[in-house]
Chains A and B, each alone.
Chain A
């Protein structure tokens, strides 16, 4: 599963970092999404999908 993030759309709500900190972090300055890895860790596909659903601004996607 490939993960993508768009920091221009991100509003820094932090839902991804709260849901799956192994994959999603937030930048120090703007609080926008930082991808720690671009593929879902094994067995974490469901959590990645949950993070995508919880994102309020549609800044992350997974396919």
Chain B
């Protein structure tokens, strides 16, 4: 038996919970009690995290999952009753997962994302123009970190940006750990209905965008198209936006690293990887359930047992990243797990990289006097969301 429950409380803004880091110092895998009493596992070591995420003996199906924390108890029950929308392929296993993913990977290749760079520059510069024109102070999340990835994913998918008010709100509700199951289901319903309507319109009037392309391909029915659109829209909003907000905050508190990102173009690509590693914004999960007995690092995970991978502490495992608690934009960062690992590794990672490689240096060069407009204690952290970051980042320049 185990009396360990998932550590969620962070003591400092950029560091994983101390309790999780202490667990990693003791061992790489731990028995963990889930909120419904299920005794599964928590992985805190880098090599073991990678091994679990790459192993074919695990499922990502929502109906197999146990709630990791008490506030997810109702939701997990509700979701296992209703199921996840078809096409929401993050929650599928092969061969269904393979089918969905292959329809999409061609849209997110390194080359395609490279071709988007001029447009990302334009969007970034337009946000900076607006910030300069309005003058400080401003909330960096609202003025910069959210609109860049939001506009990019909307244009890519073919979702009208002027419709963003409702789905940005719903997206926030969906990743908030405190949202009640009923409200999650309602938000899910609103986004689904919106996307379903949009797909009907695109069927009549196709345009040069990803959703129109999928419709034209004819492989997916309307429900699947809605599920795919849903996943990409929410994932496109909740990830890069938080990396830009939290990453800028981390740079502002590490002035020498900020200067390197601003002044040395050769630092930018690796610097973005280091920010991804150091901040590892996945605050809850990923989780898997064993579909067979699996042995990882001498531990027998029995069929049906759930495994949580603690990415923030695994990405600071000193056996892989020496002095991993330090932000060092020049360190070798290859192989970090911020985008996950295995078949579910982030589909949009090359888009996220392109956005961050453009946005961080552009912001720091345009506004060299950028600084917090509040004390660090006043920055509201997203400790209540599945994806970590800052709710707001009041800055001036």
Contacts and interface: CB of A to CB of B under 8 A. Distances in A.
B111 interface: yes
B334 A54 contact: yes
A10 to B, nearest CB: 8
A57 B109 contact: no
B343 A12 contact: no
Given A56-B54, A56-B342, A12 B335 contact: no
Nearest to A8: B98
A26 B345 contact: no
B108 A14 contact: yes
Contact of B109 (A17, A50, A56, A58): A17
Contacts of B165: none
Interface string A16-52: 0110010001111111100000000000000000100
B187 to A, nearest CB: 29
B107 A14 contact: no
Main secondary structure of the interface of B (DSSP, over half): helix
Nearest to B350: A14
Given A11-B343, A57-B343, A31 B54 contact: no
B314 to A, nearest CB: 15
Contact of A31 (B98, B105, B342, B345): B105
Nearest to B53: A56
Looking at chain A, what size class is its interface with the partner chain?
Answer: 20 to 34
Contacts of B102: 12, 30-32
A53 B47 CA distance: 12
A5 interface: no
A14 B101 contact: no
A38 to B, nearest CB: 20
Nearest to B102: A30
B342 A27 contact: no
Interface in B211-248: none
Given A18-B350, A54-B334, A12 B109 contact: yes
A61 B342 CA distance: 15
A10 B221 CA distance: 25
Given A12-B101, A50-B334, A53-B335, A28 B345 contact: no
Nearest to A53: B335
Contact of B54 (A13, A17, A58): A58
B349 interface: yes
Contact of B101 (A11, A17, A28): A11
Contacts of A32: 102, 105
Contacts of B101: 11-12
Quick one: which of B101, B110, B341 has the most chain A CB within 10 A?
A: B110
Contacts of B334: 50, 53-54
Contacts of B340: 56
A22 to B, nearest CB: 13
A34 B53 CA distance: 24
A11 B109 CA distance: 11
Interface in B326-380: 334-335, 339-343, 345-347, 349-350, 353
Given A31-B106, A53-B335, A56-B340, A11 B345 contact: yes
B54 A30 contact: no
B109 A26 contact: yes
Contact of B342 (A26, A54, A57): A57
A25 B350 CA distance: 14
Contacts of B343: 11, 56-57
Contacts of A57: 54, 342-343, 345
Contacts of A27: 106
A14 B104 CA distance: 13
Contacts of B345: 11, 13, 56-57
A14 B102 CA distance: 13
Given A14-B350, A18-B350, A50-B334, A56 B341 contact: yes
Given A12-B106, A21-B110, A26-B106, 7 more contacts: A13-B105, A13-B345, A26-B109, A28-B109, A31-B109, A53-B334, A57-B345
Q: Closest 10 interchain pairs by CB?
A: A12-B105, A31-B105, A56-B345, A26-B109, A31-B106, A17-B110, A14-B110, A31-B109, A29-B106, A14-B350
